[in-house]
Structure 1
Amino acid sequence: MTTITSLPEAQDFVAQFTNGSYQRIVALTGAGISTESGVPDFRSPGGIWSRRQPIQYQDFVADEASRLEDWDRRFEMRDFFDKAEPNAAHLALSALASSGHLTCLITQNVDGLHQRAGFPQNRLIEIHGNSTYATCLDCGARAELEGQLSFVEAGQSPRCGDCGGLLKAAVISFGQQMPEEALYQAAEAAQDCDLFLVLGSSLVVHPAAQLPAIAVKAGAELVILNAEETPLDSLASTVIRTPLAQTFAKFREEQPDIP
């Protein structure tokens, strides 16, 4: 395993992702890619979850007070998301997808920054859902967050305009079943790639943490770009410790074939 801590060396290394050596790149992103855009890592000390314990899914369904508490923190998170902008790492992944090198992006993030960076939705798998809009727990209809604020401020749980069911931010809550189809697609992508990239994930949250091992077992090369050590570093051919946005700062300008 090679460990890179020099920024110029890291920038040179990521430039090779488009040199033709890899035909089917799959990436997994975690909180570390978005913290450099100003989105707090909610799991870390000082994050929102250290101040306000997450609402369990069962409590959301059963209790009005829990629903209102959950909605209140969704709007708190939305303020962070609205102020954030995609950084060079988000943009580099979108460029890799546009050039055909990146076939699938799996993200643990719920902030919508990959979409705002122009990443194609049909190649994006959000295994923890998305906190920038809501869906009905009964009929699945989508609803925008802004339209629910007046209900929450009035002390009422937002309801679906189509069927009257409970609306909930489209993020996967603690105790809620993970999306089976998304997990299946993510595992399939990991098995079919020749390079698996991890960007900003601590690889301690399952089932996402299993995906790099699936890729390596199927014969892919693993490269981990994360500030801290992860439990799967020993499986990687290269580990990069430099800040992600700086690592990819020159990526697009040094790739003449990437739009």
Structure 2
Amino acid sequence: MRMRPTLSWTPAGDLPPGTTDVAPVADALSAGGVLVVSGAGISTESGIPDYRSEGGSLSRHTPMTYQDFLGSARARRRYWARSHLGWRTFGRARPNAGHRAVAAFERHGLLSGVITQNVDGLHQAAGSGGVVELHGSLDRVVCLSCGRFSARRELAVRLEEANPLFEPVPAGINPDGDADLTDEQVGGFRVVPCTVCGGILKPDVVFFGEAVPPGRVEHCRELVREAASLLVLGSSLTVMSGLRFVRQAAQTGKPVLIVNRDPTRGDQHAVTRVALPLGAALTAVAGRLGIPLGGEAAPQA
């Protein structure tokens, strides 16, 4: 279950220090069978901020919880107004060198799978296939009454039509696609219902306080069991949704490698933590392996 985020976790003094040596990561990849687990940090170079770094969105923003969304029409209006605006930024985001590196490693047969905690779709836009979206994706919408799924772009058109004068300037955009707006800016934003049954629409993402579907978790656990090693990219591992896979790998003797600039909650389980920006680190790894990353991918539809 994703709980309401906090900044209460602080790294212990005896955690192993970070390094700038990418050789262990390159060695693990050259051996193959690497399962990637990615977090918000891999998308920061695409213009999407993370949660917990210095200046991260949690310093100014508490994401919508599942309980608030279900329990309050006002909360749903606030969410959809902010998310509608944030979606424009997500739609313009392009995969960066980190995403392209992961896709290149997959093309060369070095990965056993990719699990992402992100909801931005940038791994797929970079060319990765079979990505497990642990927390869902912002490009899908589900009706909580009839269960119908629809494309987010279709909802965006309906919301534009219902709110033709809605053009506030946000204070920032967050990793969950939520723009920072005041109550005054949200104003009289109109939320639209399901076109089939008139029910409440929700993005197909796991909100804080909502359980990740058990089948999805078990699928990820199976991927960990089948992997030769685990490579964490851009996650602080503060919440259990990602940390549990690190613990599972470590408990079964599988090497855990982390690329994250700041200390993480999983460092004690890792054989190394590369404290470099994701793009630079994975570009260096690709260079050591003689793998070209290719050009910049097209923006998402």
Q: Note whether the superposition's TM-score is higher than 0.5.
A: yes
Tell me the SS of whatever aligns to 1:248. Answer: helix
- 8 Å CA contact 2:81–2:189 kept in 1: the answer is no
Residues 194 and 219 of structure 1 are in contact (CA less than 8 Å); yes or no, is this contact kept in structure 2?
no
Which secondary structure does the structure 2 equivalent of 1:207 belong to? helix
Amino acid at match of 2:150: R
For 1:218, the equivalent position in structure 2 comes to: 252
State the identity %. 34
| TM-score (normalizing by structure 1) | 0.85
After TM superposition, the score normalised by the length of structure 2 is 0.74
Partner of 1:33: 42
**1:161 equivalenced with 2:195 (yes/no):** yes
User: Is structure 2 residue 157 aligned with structure 1 residue 147?
Assistant: yes
Note closer, same or farther for the CA distance 1:78–1:61 as it changes in structure 2 (3 Å cut). Answer: same
Q: Is the 8 A contact 1:141 1:160 kept in 2?
A: no
Structure 1 segments unaligned to the other structure (5+ residues): none
When structure 1 is superposed on structure 2, of 135-144 and 89-98 the one drifting more is 135-144
Asked if the contact 1:196–1:222 (Cα under 8 Å) also holds between the matched residues in 2, the reply is yes
Aligned length: 252
- Which whole-Å CA distance do the structure 2 matches of 1:82 and 1:197 have between them? 27
Tell me, in whole angstroms, the C-alpha distance in 1 between the residues paired with 2:134 and 2:68.
22
Describe the shift of the 1:18–1:30 C-alpha distance in structure 2 as closer, same or farther (beyond 3 A).
closer
Aligned equivalent of 1:137? 144
Report if the CA contact (8 A) 1:64-1:157 is conserved: no
SS at match of 1:72: helix
Separation in 1 of the partners of 2:46 and 2:113? Answer: 22
Moved over 6 A (4+): none
- 1:180-216 CA-partner distances (Å, limit 9, x unpaired): 1111111111122111001111011112211111012
- Alpha-carbon spacing, 1:5–1:252, altered in 2? closer, same or farther (3 Å): closer
Give the Å deviation of 1:171: 1.6
Q: Displacement of 1:222 after TM fit?
A: 0.7
Q: Where does residue 176 of structure 1 map in the other structure?
A: 210
For 1:91-102, what aligned pairs fall within 5 Å after superposition? 91-102=100-111
Q: Which has the higher strand share?
A: 1
Mapped partners of 2:74, 2:16: distance in 1: 51
Give unpaired runs (5+ residues) of structure 2. 1-14, 167-187, 294-301
